[in-house]
Amino acid sequence: MRVCVVGLGKIGLPLAAQYASKGLSVVGCDPDAELVSEVNRGRCPHGGEKGLPTAIRKAVKAGLLEATTDTAAAVREAQVAVIIVPVGLTREHRPDFSLLDKAAAAVARGLQPGTLVILETTVPLGTTRGRLGPALEPSGLRMGAGFRLAYSPERVSVGRIFRDLRRYPKIVGGIDEASRDDAAAFYRQALDADIVTVRDAETAEFVKLAETTYRDVNIALANELAVYADRRGLDATEAFAAANSQPYSHLHQPGVGVGGHCIPVNPHLLMEEGPSLRLAAAARQVNDGMAAYGVDKLEKALGGLKGCTVLVLGLAYRPNVKEAAGSTTFALVRELEARGATALVHDPLFSAREVQAMGLRPVETFPSLQVDAVVIQALHDEYWGLDLVTFAGCRVVLDGRNALSRSEVESKGIVYIGIGR
């Protein structure tokens, strides 16, 4: 079986390597010629994914993995085409289908009778059947009759993709039974996880939207309760830990926001087809507002932010993973600068040049620099044991993830601020 993976990003490339590890002949497609060249040399262009460099090197050496910029040619020789390109959001929080549409057009140019096309990108309900299918039909083939079409949501997190591919069941739905069954048979060859088939492609799309919106809503509940605890002088983290001793309570840790490719994005994709989803909309509003809430607390503790220098620790959206998509750091910096502060950003996983390329101001020296306050946004392992007194002039720490010990911070003569603490 020859498999074409369309999109060699931080999820697509590990998928290609996974399929090759099962003995399938895989060609990965991407418009980035430099990335394609790196893969063909057996090198890993993405950092931070455990096991990926070795998997690529072995697959290329075995002749089971190659890459190309010519998607149509690759699809022409494949029995299965897996599409995994981003669908993000516009500034108006509407789905941005531009990359998916380009990928679909390229696939259509090479599509052959009987090819199985699987979409793994998280999309609004109905996209597989209503958008992707028609976009492939300029090939002269009709979905169902001329080519199979299925949807199977990616359910992995950057930094632990191979583990997640083994751990989480693979959800599969098709535009018809034949497409569903063919996709399920492919994944049984390509993965070690259990395969769970659902009624149709729309149900499979709904699975991913529902599970990520569930997380967003529960994080929003924790954040709203934390704001309430602040008003009443309570420690939400202590209360939540006690509440979670009851097996039906699973309160999350509050914080200054939610980042990543999925949780800040997918509820908007769900609401695209269901504008009456009031709870999902409210959760997005709560979570998007937590950066401003944290900066409010910091401003009050400092007696004003105008003219202050504030250091944000952690550009990544979560600890120990080099991925800044949707990072709360961007919202924190906007809030700080809108109030007259100078916001500096440090992350041991990103170079100063990379930080600057994202429109942020990197630190020149670390940890020895003069700041008025420090904000903990992502507590990487490298930050554990960091002595806050090395930041000359630091008066306040905003622990945006409730990860530090209040007593230890205050023993340094620094004011501690948590979220709901």
User: Each residue of 208-250: pLDDT tens digit?
Assistant: 999 999 999 999 999 999 999 999 999 999 999 999 999 999 9
Same domain, 35 and 164: yes
Examine residue 245 and state whether it is found in any structural domain, yes or no. Answer: no
402: left (phi over 0), alpha (psi -120 to 50) or beta: left
Examine residue 60 and state whether it is found in any structural domain, yes or no. Answer: yes
Examine residue 257 and state whether it is found in any structural domain, yes or no. Answer: no
CA 345 to chain centre: 20
Domain ends where: 139, 170, 204? 204
- Cα distance between residue 174 and residue 418, in whole Å: 47
Same domain, 28 and 142: yes
Q: CA 168, 117, 262: angle at the middle one, nearest 5?
A: 45
Examine residue 317 and state whether it is found in any structural domain, yes or no. Answer: yes
Examine residue 105 and state whether it is found in any structural domain, yes or no. Answer: yes
The mean per-residue pLDDT over the stretch 73-93 comes to: 96
The mean per-residue pLDDT over the stretch 108-119 comes to: 98
Domain ends where: 148, 171, 204? 204
Examine residue 253 and state whether it is found in any structural domain, yes or no. Answer: no
Same domain, 150 and 21: yes
Task: Collapse the DSSP code of 270 into the 3-class scheme (helix H, G, I; strand E, B; otherwise coil) and give the result.
Answer: helix
Helix (H) or strand (E) holding 99: helix 98-110
Closest CA to 210 of 124, 133, 326: 124
CA torsion angle 48 54 57 59 (round to 10): -110
Same domain, 186 and 297: no
Examine residue 110 and state whether it is found in any structural domain, yes or no. Answer: yes
- Cα distance between residue 122 and residue 206, in whole Å: 9
Q: Please provide the DSSP assignment of 5-69 as one string.
A: EE--STTHHHHHHHHHHTT-EEEEE-S-HHHHHHHHTT---S-S-TTHHHHHHHHHHTT-EEEES
- Cα distance between residue 419 and residue 199, in whole Å: 42
Q: Judge whether residue 275 has pLDDT over 70.
A: no
Same domain, 345 and 196: no
Same domain, 91 and 187: yes
Same domain, 326 and 189: no
Same domain, 37 and 170: yes
The mean per-residue pLDDT over the stretch 31-56 comes to: 95
What is the CATH number for 299?
3.40.50.720
Same domain, 49 and 193: yes
Q: Please provide the DSSP assignment of 139-153 as one string.
A: GS--BTTTBEEEE--
Examine residue 376 and state whether it is found in any structural domain, yes or no. Answer: yes
Domain ends where: 156, 185, 204? 204
Number of structural domains found in the chain:
2
Say which residues have a Cβ less than 8 Å from residue 294's Cβ, sequence separation at least 6. 256, 332, 375, 398, 400, 417, 419
- Cα distance between residue 226 and residue 240, in whole Å: 10
Same domain, 79 and 186: yes
Q: Judge whether residue 389 has pLDDT over 70.
A: yes
DSSP strand E in 74-121: where?
Answer: 80-83, 88-89, 95-96, 116-119
The mean per-residue pLDDT over the stretch 17-33 comes to: 98
Helix (H) or strand (E) holding 337: helix 328-338
pLDDT in tens, 353-369: 999 999 999 998 888 88
Say which residues have a Cβ less than 8 Å from residue 15's Cβ, sequence separation at least 6. 5, 82, 84, 120, 154, 161, 165
- Model pTM score: 0.93
326 contacts 261 by C-beta, under 8 angstroms: yes
Q: CA 260, 218, 326: angle at the middle one, nearest 5?
A: 15
Question: Domain range spanning residue 103?
Answer: 2-204
Same domain, 9 and 147: yes
Mean pLDDT of the chain: 96
State the pLDDT at residue 364: 85
Same domain, 189 and 322: no
